Amino acid sequence: MDNKRSLQATIPTFKLKSTLIMECTVSWTGALGTRSGMGFVAETGSGHTLMMDGAPDEAKSENGGLNLAPRPLETVLAGTGGCTAYDVVLILKRGRHVVTGCTVKLSAVRAEVDPKVFTHINMHFTVTGKGIPAVAVERAIAMSHDKYCSASIMLAKTAEITTSFDVIEG
pLDDT of residue 12: 53
- Pairwise CA distance, residues 108 & 97, whole Å: 30
Residues 107-125 have pLDDT tens digits of 999 999 999 999 999 999 9
- Within the chain, which residues score under 70 in pLDDT? 1-19
Residues 22 and 50 in one domain: yes
pLDDT of residue 19: 67
Residues 88 and 161 in one domain: yes
Residues 118 and 151 in one domain: yes
- Pairwise CA distance, residues 74 & 13, whole Å: 33
pLDDT of residue 15: 55
pLDDT of residue 32: 79
Question: Could you give the number of structural domains in the chain?
Answer: 2
For the chain, what is the largest distance between any 2 Cα atoms, rounded to a whole number of angstroms?
A: 63
pLDDT of residue 99: 98
Residues 85 and 63 in one domain: no
- Full residue range of the structural domain in which residue 51 is found: 7-70
Q: How far is CA 64 from the centre of its chain?
A: 23
Last residue of a domain, one of 53, 70, 87: 70
Q: Is residue 144 part of a domain?
A: yes
Residues 79 and 65 in one domain: no
pLDDT of residue 10: 56
First vs last C-alpha separation in the chain: 62
Bridge partners of 28, per DSSP, are 40
Residues 66 and 31 in one domain: yes
Q: What are phi and psi of 150, to 5 degrees?
A: -60, -40
Residues 12 and 84 in one domain: no
Cite the DSSP H helix spans in 39-163. Answer: 72-94, 134-143, 150-155
